[in-house]
């Protein structure tokens, strides 16, 4: 279901630049209004190269994010929005529209995951996470609007219609998903009850086993990172398990290439095979790169959204690589048409002789003359 009542609004930037940049700004805003969002993004990004104040940069980032939101590229929109540093104390002019747009992007990401007739369990779990994050953003938007209204002198704070409708939609979908799939809520799994995988890196030898174990550890690290994000507080036990799971995934990944060489030398001592490694290795390397980035961000206690995006990206590539490693399913051959029984040659010859003899015998007259008539 689309949010027809909400239209992402561009923040006017014409009056914040010097005369040299005003023309570019007007062109960018005109492109946005005409629905040519790619061209608008190009010009906004061109303006970013100028020597800008922080508040000017914030408005450009907001407009770039809003253009991506209109294009339906929600992750790129969130990346631009996340780059805007917000203060919770001052009545920032961007706070309300920014938080609202972030909520819309999260909601639409969740709807994308749920639009298929039968979403996968991990897709449902991520949709639940996104809807919960959406509700958090709506709350922040309401708080920002209230701060701004009070700064203007208002004594009462009321939620705007667009925020109320968006909140109702998100709550409704969240309730429906959890009613049908109670296990989709990662927060329901407490830190102590979540499946904790013991170290088993030394027992694995084949590339397939190593990759499967790396995926298992990376999946657990992602689940723990989501719990940490939802709890929004530091927990020593949670942090230890998160770092352990992420480190194990990376350590397993470091053994993958050695396992390939060992297996190839064993199976094909004279000549290594190209397939399936020509497809598996590029996918594996992309996943390993994202896993390393996630591990570095966890240690640096960096932005949690960036950690989760890299964990998700790592899982995506590793699962694709694993699918290439598995042998193709054996297809059942189509049923062959039943062939007629072929008779022996001597039987066929006998039948032909019999038919020839039958043809040589004189045939009886088909009519009998009537009494008293001459046959001629």
- In this predicted structure, what is the pLDDT of residue 250? 93
To which CATH superfamily is domain 201-325 assigned?
IL-4 antagonist (De novo design) like domain (1.20.120.660)
* 229-266: pLDDT as tens digits: 877 667 788 888 889 999 999 999 999 999 988 888 88
85: left (phi over 0), alpha (psi -120 to 50) or beta: beta
Confidence grade of residue 5 (pLDDT, cut at 50, 70, 90): very low
- Report pLDDT for 285: 94
Q: Which residue has the higher pLDDT, 180 or 137?
A: 137
Please tell me the predicted confidence (pLDDT) of residue 195. Answer: 53
Superfamily of domain 14-186: Tetratricopeptide repeat domain (1.25.40.10)
Higher pLDDT, 13 or 165: 165
The pLDDT assigned to 248 comes to 92
The backbone torsions φ and ψ at residue 300, rounded to the nearest 5 degrees and listed phi first, read -85, 0
Average pLDDT in the 3-30 region?
A: 61
- CB proximity list for 267: less than 8 A, separation 6 or greater: 273
Q: Examine residue 276 and say whether the peptide bond preceding it is cis (omega within 30 degrees of 0).
A: yes
Write the CA distances from 22 to 25, 130, 225, 294, integer angstroms.
5, 38, 44, 40
* 159 vs 375 pLDDT, higher one: 159
The domain locations on the chain are 14-186, 201-325
Q: Assess whether pLDDT exceeds 80 at residue 51.
A: no
Among 77, 125, 123, CA closest to 101? 77
Asked which of 39-53, 185-199, 236-250 is least confident by mean pLDDT, the reply is 185-199
pLDDT higher than threshold 50 for residue 70 = yes
Interatomic CA distance for residues 338 and 352, integer angstroms: 26
DSSP letter at 301 equals T
The larger pLDDT score, comparing residue 333 to residue 314, is at: 314
3-state secondary structure of 167: helix
pLDDT tens digits along 338-356? 555 555 656 666 676 677 6
Q: What pLDDT score was predicted for residue 353?
A: 66
78-111 as b/e: b if 16+ CB within 10 A: bbbbeebeeeeeebbebbbbbbbbbbbbbbbbbb
Question: Residue 73 — very low, low, confident or very high, per pLDDT cuts 50/70/90?
Answer: very high
Q: Give per-residue pLDDT as tens, 127-179.
A: 998 999 999 999 989 888 888 888 777 777 777 788 889 999 999 988 888 88
CB 201 within 8 A of CB 247: no
- The CA-based angle 250-255-257, given to 5 degrees, is 115
pTM, rounded to two decimals = 0.64
Looking at per-residue confidence, does 152 or 322 come out higher?
A: 322
Give the residue with greater pLDDT, 51 vs 74. Answer: 74
Contact 74, 108 (CB under 8 A): yes
Q: Is the pLDDT of residue 335 over 70?
A: no
Q: Assess whether pLDDT exceeds 90 at residue 215.
A: yes
8 A C-beta contact, residue 224 and residue 304:
no
Coil/strand/helix, residue 80: helix
pLDDT at residue 93, as a whole number:
75
| Torsion angle of C-alpha atoms 184, 188, 190, 191, degrees rounded to 10 | 40
pLDDT value at residue 300: 85
- pLDDT of res. 237: 80
Most confident option among 113-127, 279-293, 329-343: 279-293
Tokens describing residue 299: 């240690």
């Amino acid at each position: 279901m689309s949010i027809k009542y909400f239209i992402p609004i561009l923040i006017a930037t014409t009056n914040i630049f010097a005369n040299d940049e005003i023309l570019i700004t007007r062109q960018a805003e005109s492109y946005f209004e005409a629905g040519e969002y790619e061209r608008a993004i190009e010009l906004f990004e061109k303006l970013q190269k100028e020597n800008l104040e922080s508040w000017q940069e914030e408005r450009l980032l907001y407009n770039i994010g809003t253009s991506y939101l209109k294009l339906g590229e929600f992750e790129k929109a969130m990346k631009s929005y996340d780059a805007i540093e917000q203060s919770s104390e001052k009545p920032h002019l961007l706070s309300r529209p920014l938080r609202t747009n972030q909520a819309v992007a999260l909601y639409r990401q969740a709807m994308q995951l749920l639009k298929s007739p039968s979403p996968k369990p991990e897709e449902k779990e991520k949709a639940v996470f996104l809807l919960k994050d959406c509700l958090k953003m709506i709350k922040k938007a309401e708080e920002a609007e209230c701060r701004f209204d009070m700064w203007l002198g208002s004594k009462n704070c009321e939620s705007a219609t667009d925020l109320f409708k968006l909140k109702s939609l998100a709550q409704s979908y969240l309730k429906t998903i959890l009613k049908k799939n109670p296990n989709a809520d990662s927060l329901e799994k407490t830190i102590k009850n979540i499946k904790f995988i013991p170290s088993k890196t030394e027992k694995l030898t084949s590339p397939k086993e190593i990759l499967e174990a790396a995926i298992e550890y990376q999946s657990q690290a992602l689940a723990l990172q989501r719990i940490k994000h939802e709890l929004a507080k530091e927990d020593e036990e949670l942090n230890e398990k998160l770092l352990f799971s992420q480190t194990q995934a990376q350590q397993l990944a470091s053994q993958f290439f050695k396992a390939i060489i060992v297996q190839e030398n064993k199976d094909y001592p004279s000549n290594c095979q190209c397939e399936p490694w020509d497809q598996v290795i590029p996918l594996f390397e992309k996943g390993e790169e994202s896993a390393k980035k996630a591990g570095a961000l966890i240690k640096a206690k960096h932005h949690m959204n960036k950690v989760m995006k890299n964990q998700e990206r790592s899982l995506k590539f590793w699962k694709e690589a694993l699918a290439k490693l598995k042998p193709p399913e054996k297809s059942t051959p189509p049923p062959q048409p039943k062939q007629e029984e072929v008779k022996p040659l001597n039987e066929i010859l006998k039948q032909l002789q019999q038919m020839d003899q039958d043809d040589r015998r004189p045939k009886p007259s088909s009519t009998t003359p009537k009494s008293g008539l001459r046959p001629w």
